Amino acid sequence: MSEEITLGPLRIDLIRKDVKNVHLTVHPPEGRVTLVAPLSTRTEVARAYAISKLAWIRQQQKTLKAQARETPRQFRERETHELWGRRHLMTVVEVDVKPFVKLDHKRITLSVRPGHDLAKRAEVMHAWHKSLMHALVPQLIAKWEPKLGVHVSSYFLQRMKTKWGSCNHRAGNIRLNTELVKKPKDLVEYVVLHEMLHLLEPTHSGRFVALIDQYWPQWRESRAELNALPLGHQSWSE
For residue 104, pLDDT over 80 is answered with yes
Taking only the tens place, the pLDDT of each residue in 121-170 is 999 999 999 999 999 999 999 999 999 999 999 999 998 877 899 999 99
pLDDT of residue 68: 55
More confident call, 88 vs 72: 88
pLDDT of residue 234: 39
- This prediction has a pTM of 0.70
The residue among 9, 19, 3 whose CA lies nearest residue 54 is 9
Amino acid identity, position 22: V
For residue 233, pLDDT over 80 is answered with no
pLDDT of residue 152: 97
Concatenating the DSSP letter of every residue in the chain gives -EEEEEETTEEEEEEEES-SS-EEEEETTTTEEEEEEETT--HHHHHHHHHHTHHHHHHHHHHHHHS-BPPPP---TT-EEEETTEEEEEEEEE-SS--EEEEETTEEEEEE-TT--HHHHHHHHHHHHHHHHHHHHHHHHHHHHHHHT----EEEEE--SS-SEEEETTTTEEEEEGGGGGS-HHHHHHHHHHHHHTTT-SS--HHHHHHHHHH-TTHHHHHHHHHHSPBPTT----
More confident call, 70 vs 11: 11
Taking only the tens place, the pLDDT of each residue in 20-66 is 888 898 887 678 899 999 999 999 999 999 999 999 999 888 877 76
The residue among 188, 189, 158, 216 whose CA lies nearest residue 83 is 188
For residue 237, pLDDT over 50 is answered with no
Task: Provide the CB-side half-sphere exposure for 211 (13 A, CA).
Answer: 21
Residue ranges of the chain assigned to CATH 3.30.2010.10? 80-228
Residue 40 to residue 33: CA distance in whole angstroms? 20
The residue among 93, 3, 101, 106 whose CA lies nearest residue 47 is 3
Average pLDDT, the chain: 88
Residue 142 to residue 192: CA distance in whole angstroms? 11
Confidence class for position 1, pLDDT limits 50, 70, 90: low
More confident call, 110 vs 28: 110
pLDDT of residue 235: 37
Domain 80-228, classified CATH 3.30.2010.10, yes or no: yes
Residue 38 to residue 16: CA distance in whole angstroms? 5
